[in-house]
């Protein structure tokens, strides 16, 4: 029983000592508080420079403190003041940010201009040109895809054009024009020059097609006439001379009449 009483008194004493140890009185110094407020955000108030001079300036603490720094109360040293270093730093950061945005905008403009110029000059992207996609691709399709130039003709016409060398002539002209077209499409030139080259070659291609169609039509006509003439010769009967007179006599009569 006595032991329990002693333990209870010891525990109570330790608890009291712990409570006293945790109780701390908050001490404030108005001079330090004024200086902290002055240097951080509040106004640089000369009235709060303590200790003050006192009655008739007889406060010795004032002279011991501010006599060594007479210009300190008059000079605003707040970092966030209008002319403070932190305010100047923030203004400099804002100015640098504006300059950076201006440089970025200028760089983006140069990039977009360069991409536009590259798209207009690069032959690698000429296939994506709107004018090529909408018009010239369809016009040059027989030339670029290599269609049969004798499509729609008969076997006799094919044999005739191949035998006379007209087919080789057309194939050579079409191949040369296709190579020129491929060169214009893959060469890095200005878009306007590329379009003008398309226009000139399209005129040449249409002229070549017109000439080729004319040759095919003439070949068909010639073969038709040749076949008709051959049939006439095979079916024609020999003309008999009139009875009673020979060929020699008829010729003599014609010569005699011509002399008169």
pLDDT in tens, 1-46: 666 666 676 676 666 665 554 555 566 777 778 777 777 767 777 6
Average pLDDT over residues 213-218: 89
**d(C-alpha 52, C-alpha 80), whole Å:** 26
The pLDDT tens digits for 84-98 are 888 889 999 999 999
- Break the chain into its structural domains and give their ranges: 36-78, 80-121, 124-232
| 242, pLDDT greater than 70 | no
Banded pLDDT at 206 (limits 50, 70, 90): very high
CA atoms within 13 A on the CB side of 139: 16
The pLDDT tens digits for 158-199 are 888 888 888 899 999 999 999 999 888 888 888 888 889 999
Matching residue, tokens 């008739």: 56
Residue 166 structure tokens: 């007209």
Average pLDDT over residues 97-122: 86
**d(C-alpha 128, C-alpha 24), whole Å:** 81
Banded pLDDT at 244 (limits 50, 70, 90): low
Banded pLDDT at 260 (limits 50, 70, 90): very low
Residue 202 structure tokens: 């399209």
Model pLDDT, residue 78: 78
The pLDDT tens digits for 132-152 are 889 998 999 988 887 888 888
Model pLDDT, residue 97: 94
């Amino acid at each position: 029983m006595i032991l329990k009483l002693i333990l209870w008194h010891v525990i109570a004493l330790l608890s009291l000592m712990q409570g006293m140890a945790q109780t701390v009185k908050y001490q404030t110094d108005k001079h330090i508080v004024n200086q902290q407020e002055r240097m951080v955000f509040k106004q640089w108030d000369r009235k709060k420079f303590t200790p003050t001079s006192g009655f008739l300036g007889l406060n010795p603490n004032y002279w011991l403190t501010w006599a060594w720094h007479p210009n300190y109360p008059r000079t605003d040293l707040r970092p966030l003041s209008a002319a403070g270093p932190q305010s100047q730093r923030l203004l400099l950061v804002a100015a640098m940010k504006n300059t950076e945005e201006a440089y970025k905008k200028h760089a983006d403009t140069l990039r977009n201009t360069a991409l536009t110029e590259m798209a207009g000059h690069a032959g690698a992207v000429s296939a994506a040109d709107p004018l090529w996609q909408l018009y010239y691709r369809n016009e040059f399709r027989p030339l670029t895809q290599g269609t049969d130039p004798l499509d729609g003709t008969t076997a006799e016409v094919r044999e005739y054009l191949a035998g006379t060398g007209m087919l080789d002539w057309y194939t050579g002209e079409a191949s040369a024009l296709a190579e020129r077209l491929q060169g214009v499409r893959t060469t890095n030139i200005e878009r306007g020059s590329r379009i003008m080259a398309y226009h000139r070659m399209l005129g040449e291609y249409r002229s070549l097609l017109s000439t080729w169609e004319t040759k095919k039509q003439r070949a068909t006509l010639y073969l038709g006439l040749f076949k008709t003439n051959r049939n006439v010769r095979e079916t024609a009967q020999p003309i008999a001379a009139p009875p009673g007179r020979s060929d020699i006599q008829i010729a003599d009569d014609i010569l005699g009449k011509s002399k008169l």
